[in-house]
Structure 1
């Protein structure tokens, strides 16, 4: 826990120090940004079309599995390529798992007209399970999204925690979410 607090404090101090540099970096076509995102992971409904007392209980193909929220800071070049550092919290209900990812992120965005963009992101770092002792492992993330001209991004994301839990080698999430980027 001390490591996580130290890492978060270092991250906050890094953000504060770099906020002073924003005026000089914009001259070089580099712009700092903050990104906040929230997503809901989904899983296939195992009880789909199950009948209880001759009544179908749930027809949903997918059901929510938890919630995820992340925050990051980075720099970008002309909204085309960006690199950033992120952290957040993921909750996966069926595993009773709350985890904190800390990762670096690379984003590529291509314009499709009128300020809209298709974005692809890939991230790699470490994931730490809360309340599970020293359970941690590699964290990977990929996402594909649609960015509006108001800097909202609607995305689908696949992420994985590479640690052993309940006889599985890794814990994966497929999520739908929205992100906001501010400059």
Structure 2
């Protein structure tokens, strides 16, 4: 039986290191540092290339499809963010992203100019429906504020994590914020 030679940094044909090799891999078939010409010529390849995790050689079609969906959602989120940032109005406003914890944070500059802690706020959607809320300090040591009951507004308006909202101040006493929603799902390519 031929003794297997151990190679310290086995590489795939794409040039990346293969950290975990399948059990059937024979290290001696891998080149320690394949050159560009050897990769193109097929030298230094092994039977484990079809299982390589560093490139698309053997990715299961479901995994590859999931990666493509993630890339597409990321691009859609970028488009929603750009649309929210492009929103302009004469009234004071700020942009916030719906976070994983069902929160929307209030811009500290906007809050210091227009809001007090625990002031009553009405959130109004484009249909004219209103939700009562208030602002609270996110952390005692920071100046960042968040809405206390934003999760109710989020659920009633079917907002998702990564969606963006523009909050436009339309009335000061009581504080009324018109909420313009930029949903990630609206920005499909």
Give the TM-score of the pair, scaled to structure 2: 0.24
Greater C-alpha Rg:
2
Give the TM-score of the pair, scaled to structure 1: 0.24
